[in-house]
Structure 1
């Protein structure tokens, strides 16, 4: 009987050990699963955060680059337009001034020539008239038909 009494507790002990092993296995699997899920979640959140930061940084750099290029292009166009307008204005003023000076010079020369010719003609007519009168026989007491000179 003694062997029966020993055998029963041993069988019970084996069952207890198996149950404990089974529970331990299930608990380990459950804890491992939960820990894996938790770690996966945390890793996913961390990776998502890092990827978002990286993508945001790259997108910001790209947008900043594009905006800078666009603004630089617009500023260059605006400055070029302003410089062109300014240079055109200055060149137009300069050319107008030079053309005005040239035309004034030419007109002055032309008017001076015309006035000189006119005055010369008038003076010539006047002098010719006076000379004709002074050589006229009616004004000369002694008129020599061969030498048109008045003798006083």
Structure 2
């Protein structure tokens, strides 16, 4: 009979340890110390090749949101550099293992806007990325913060 008592004691100890672990980290919660994703923030943009001959009017979409907000564009001349703040500091949350899309556009009102290219960004992407088409090239720097 002694082995059954020992088994019951071990089972009770393991059950208690499991309950304590579950209380500390409920099912569905992220393990302690593991990031649930990241925030990607555009920090700087440079025109390496313009879509138009003298000046581009540029805006971006990041995660489906247009930057700068309010329908404005940022004017670029050849090799001009603008901080992310000129675009209202675009940023987006990306879940761990997921991605977001950064797309650039050159405004051509009243005609349709021209694409400046796009890039898929993840929490492990390397900065900068180039948005490239057959007629333009823009370099975009970004920061990644784990959350």
TM-score normalised per structure 2: 0.25
Tell me which protein shows more strand as a share of its residues. Answer: 2
Tell me which protein shows more helix as a share of its residues. Answer: 1
Structure number with larger C-alpha Rg: 1
